[in-house]
Structures are given as structure tokens and as C-alpha cells.
Amino acid sequence: MLLTAKWVLPITSDPIKNGAVLVRRDKIAAVGPKGDLVGAYPGEEVTNFGQAVILPGFVDLHTHLEYSIFRGLCDDLPFTPWKMQVTKKGRKLSPDDWLSSAKLGALEAIQSGITCIADVNKTAAGLHAALAAGLRGIVFCEITGMDDSRIQRVVAEARDMVLRWKEATKNSHIKIGVSPYASYASTPLLFKALSDWAREEKLPVCFHLAGSPDEYEFVKHGSSALATSYRDLMGWSDFLWQPTGVSPVKYLEQWDAFEGDVLATHCIQVSEMDIDLLKKYDVAIAHCPRCSAKLGMGIAPLKEFIGHNLRVGLGTDSPASNNTMDIFDEMRIGLLLQRGAEESVEEFSAKRFVEMATLGGARALRMEDEIGALTQDKQADIIAVDLSRSHQIPVTDPYSALVYTANQEDVIFTMVGGKILYNKEEGTVLDEKAILAETRSARSKLWA
Ligand SMILES: [Zn+2]
């Protein structure tokens, strides 16, 4: 199949005007000018997207598919009250409700040009939805617990769950990882036990790190609402928690949490010394600019991450916190926040953010040999974005158009491993109508 459009963005080389991508089975067989490829492959079926750009699929480096129906539920709360509301409301949902919610997220992902996800998942709903949609990525099994006497049991249960999840993902594009969620939800001994086990099993690890000021206060001074009302809500108030006197990054280093293959989400409350530590352990960072701003967590020091040559990609963190899985919004708002904070336009360009949303995410997941760019022999994870609409023309630079004018609704084609998951004319591999109907009853429980 030959995909052609006004622009092709290989990411690792210059944009190709009037370009084409040849897909053979699950891989990219050739990339180049349309005239050359049409001439070289005369019998090939051609799909022409016209005034559009073809690029690698987006990597959503941090999400929770199962929280999709929480969209708009707790919009104007700071981090800890938001987290508590989401936790309380979530207790009303059945396993089927969680699955419907995750399917809604998977549907939105493929309609928005997301081909690869790093999903933190406590109910297995995100796993099953990602499999049904044909997405690529890593689903991290979420583990929490503040009772040190139960650590052996919690780790044993996690082992069983990961075995079952691995079995379910055979012959798919999904890998399994483990997530000791965050400093305020897992005791340090549990962090250490999970980290040791993940290293033994070569499992990738993901956790939330140094996000809100409340998390910083919780770790360093043993205070904030995370140390009081949140622990009451979780039934953890009888378990000892003491100030550690150090930053969240230093604290988790002391418990060996960075020893494996770690993806850390947020990393906002970090010092220069913390960033040096993240670099020392080659920790990858899921930068979620919209979620961080919306919950009043702050603005991550992206310039310093890049300056330290850390692996950084963009995450949406699910509609529960920032309402849409729109990577265009993450790029645009992420770029504008940095320029505002730095009082400078020098550091970040539209091109830099498109790279972060594709190849950057792939590197963060150590998948850059398979995805993240349009080059021969990479997996055919490809999207097309329409650039012909009134809010976009005229287009002179496709990078600029993607970051400053495009939205998730402009995505017209999504392919993973050579399989078309979404095509604007024909719809998605998922049953959109059924998913929207299924989520109705679950949503009514949340709003009751
Ligand atoms: Zn998250």
C-alpha cells in the first residue's frame, strides 16, 4: 500500500513535499517523493490524503485509559482534592463500567492519532481495551499499599496478575510493566520490593514522581492533605508515616526505585540535584504539561531535562485530569507554557515538540528501533492529519501547522503495524456506537 500526501514528515530527516510511504505487511518498506515511489511501484494500491501530512503515530507516554469517563467530573480542583474525588467516585464503578470507560479512551486514542500508549492500569480494563483497539505500547500494572506487613502478599498478587496479563498479550503489540503508583500510595519497602522484582523479571517500571507541591510536602515534611485526609480516605491512617527530610526524587533513590528501566511521570518539583539523579539512572520522563497546569501542580523544567539529555516524551494523563487525549493540545500548550515561563522563544520550536510526541516517546519506552520515525524497516505506525480546513490554510510549514493549528479532529487515518485502526470515511476497528451507549450507565453512576 502506498500512502501519499502533500507532506511526509519522517521526523529523522527533512519534510518531503509531495511525499509517499510504502507499507508492506507490518513495516515501512520505503519513504520518498511521491513521483519516485509511484514510478518504482506501478501496480501498488495508492491512498492519497491530499492536503495533509503523513507522520509517525503519536506516543501518549502517560495515560490511564480506564479513567476516560471521569472527563469533566472534577474540573476545578487542586491535585489532592481532585485525587480524592476521583478515588471516591471510582468506588461506585463495576468491572464492566471500568472496561467501558477504557474502551472509550482507546477509541479516542485511535481517532486522535495515538498509536502507542504507556498506560497505568489497576483493573485490567485498559489492557483489554488497548488489545481490542490494536494499540501498541506498555500497560503498567498498578500496585499500591501502605501496610508493610502485607508486602510479600501484595508482591505475590502482582506476580500472578502480571503472569495473567502477559498471557493475554501474546501475539499483540502490548508489553506489560509494573507501576508502584507514587510515593504517597506505596510504602518505601513496597517500592523496593517491586523494583527488585521488576529488575529480576526485566519488567519496565512506571510511577508518578514529584508532581504536586502536596507530594513534595508529604515526602519531605510528612505533611499536606496527602498525609492526612487522603490517607484517611484510603484507610492508611494507622500506618506510620514520617518526614523523610529529602525531595521525592532523593527519597525514591534511597529505596532503589530507579535501579531498573524507569519511566517517571511529571517530575515538576525537582531541583538541579534531582535532575542530576534522574540522569544518573537514565530515568525517562513523561511530560504532561496540560494536566500539570490544570491541577495547579506547576510547570516542569523541560529546558533542564533537555539540557541533561534526558529521554522525554509527552503524556495526556487521561481525560480524568485534562479532559481530552489530544496530543496536539499537549504540544501546543506545552510549548506555550515553556515560552511563557522562560520569557523566551529561543529554546523550543514546533519541530522539537513534534519530535517529543513521536520519537521522544519511542525513546522513553526504548522502542526507537521499532517506531517513532518513518524510515525503512520500522513498524508501519502511521497517521495522516488533514491540513486543508479553514483554521489551517495557508500551510507553509507542516511542523508549524501541526503544533499551532491542528487538533485531534483533524486526524484522518491511524495505522498500527500495517493495520488500519481508523479511517475518517470508514470509522474505527471498535464499535463506536456501542461504546458510547455502554458508557452512558457508568457515567450516570459517577454523576449521581
Ligand atoms: Zn497519571
pLDDT tens figures, 65-109: 999 999 999 999 999 999 999 999 999 999 999 999 999 999 999
- 315 and 420 together in one domain: no
Cα 123 to averaged position of ligand 1 atoms, centre (Å) = 14
In a domain, 437, yes or no: no
Cα 6 to averaged position of ligand 1 atoms, centre (Å) = 36
Cα 161 to averaged position of ligand 1 atoms, centre (Å) = 20
In a domain, 440, yes or no: no
- 174 and 52 together in one domain: no
- 19 and 80 together in one domain: no
Place of cell 491541577: 295
- 38 and 142 together in one domain: no
- 11 and 49 together in one domain: yes
Count of structural domains, the chain: 2
- 191 and 300 together in one domain: yes
Cα 330 to averaged position of ligand 1 atoms, centre (Å) = 15
Q: What pLDDT, on a 0 to 100 scale, did the predictor assign at position 159?
A: 96
Residue 397 grid coordinates: 510549514
Cα 64 to averaged position of ligand 1 atoms, centre (Å) = 6
Nearest to 52 by CA among 428, 427, 401, 403: 401
- Give the separation between CA 321 and CA 83, rounded to whole angstroms: 9
Q: 136 phi and psi, to 5 degrees?
A: -100, 160
- 284 and 416 together in one domain: no
- Across 327-348, b (16+ Cβ under 10 Å) vs e yields bbbbbbbbbebbeeeeeeeeeb
- Give the separation between CA 309 and CA 297, rounded to whole angstroms: 24
In a domain, 435, yes or no: no
Question: Region 306-320: what's the mean pLDDT?
Answer: 97
Task: Check whether 17 has a pLDDT greater than 90.
Answer: yes
Dihedral of the alpha carbons of 17, 23, 26, 28, in degrees to the nearest 10? -50
Angle subtended at Cα 41 by Cα 40 and Cα 47, rounded to the nearest 5 degrees: 125
Contact at 8 Å (CB) between 15 and 7? yes
Which distant-in-sequence residues (6+ apart) come within 8 Å of 248 by Cβ? Answer: 183, 209, 210, 215, 216, 219, 220, 269
Cα 47 to averaged position of ligand 1 atoms, centre (Å) = 37
Q: 141 phi and psi, to 5 degrees?
A: -80, 115
Mean pLDDT score of the chain? 97
Cα 408 to averaged position of ligand 1 atoms, centre (Å) = 21
State the DSSP H helix or E strand holding residue 269, giving kind and residue range, or none if neither. Answer: none
Cα 184 to averaged position of ligand 1 atoms, centre (Å) = 13
In a domain, 438, yes or no: no
Cα 266 to averaged position of ligand 1 atoms, centre (Å) = 8
Half-sphere exposure of 3 (CA within 13 A, CB side): 33
DSSP annotation string for 75-138 = TT--HHHHHHHHHHHHTT--HHHHHHHHHHHHHHHHHTTEEEEEEEESSSHHHHHHHHHT-EEE
Order of strands, sheet of 205-209, starting from the edge strand that comes earlier in the sequence: 58-63, 114-121, 136-142, 174-179, 205-209, 262-266, 284-287, 312-314
Name the region of 245 (left: φ>0; alpha: ψ -120 to 50; beta: rest): left
Q: What pLDDT, on a 0 to 100 scale, did the predictor assign at position 379?
A: 98
In a domain, 202, yes or no: yes
In a domain, 225, yes or no: yes
Alpha-carbon distances of 443 from 98, 196, 336, 416, rounded to whole Å: 10, 39, 33, 30
Cα 265 to averaged position of ligand 1 atoms, centre (Å) = 7
Q: Where among 313, 329, 364 does a domain terminate?
A: 364
Host domain of residue 78: 58-364
Cα 60 to averaged position of ligand 1 atoms, centre (Å) = 12
Cα 77 to averaged position of ligand 1 atoms, centre (Å) = 16
Cα 341 to averaged position of ligand 1 atoms, centre (Å) = 23
For residue range 388-439, what is the model confidence (pLDDT) as tens digits? 999 999 999 999 999 999 999 999 999 999 999 999 999 999 999 999 999 9
- 46 and 67 together in one domain: no
For residue range 368-395, what is the model confidence (pLDDT) as tens digits? 999 999 999 999 999 999 999 999 999 9
Residue 416 grid coordinates: 498500527
Q: What pLDDT, on a 0 to 100 scale, did the predictor assign at position 353?
A: 98
In a domain, 63, yes or no: yes
Task: Check whether 297 has a pLDDT greater than 90.
Answer: yes
- 341 and 306 together in one domain: yes
Task: Check whether 447 has a pLDDT greater than 90.
Answer: no
Contact at 8 Å (CB) between 89 and 115? no
Cα 317 to averaged position of ligand 1 atoms, centre (Å) = 5
- 163 and 255 together in one domain: yes
CATH number (domain holding residue 153): 3.20.20.140
In this structure, the number of other CB atoms found within 10 A of the CB of residue 194 comes to 27
- 222 and 79 together in one domain: yes
- Give the separation between CA 330 and CA 81, rounded to whole angstroms: 24
- 116 and 73 together in one domain: yes
In a domain, 439, yes or no: no
- Give the separation between CA 386 and CA 110, rounded to whole angstroms: 15
Task: Check whether 356 has a pLDDT greater than 80.
Answer: yes
Read off the pTM: 0.98
Task: Check whether 448 has a pLDDT greater than 80.
Answer: no
Confidence of residue 441 (pLDDT cuts 50, 70, 90): confident
CATH number (domain holding residue 27): 2.30.40.10
Cα 409 to averaged position of ligand 1 atoms, centre (Å) = 24
Residue 417, SS3 per DSSP = coil
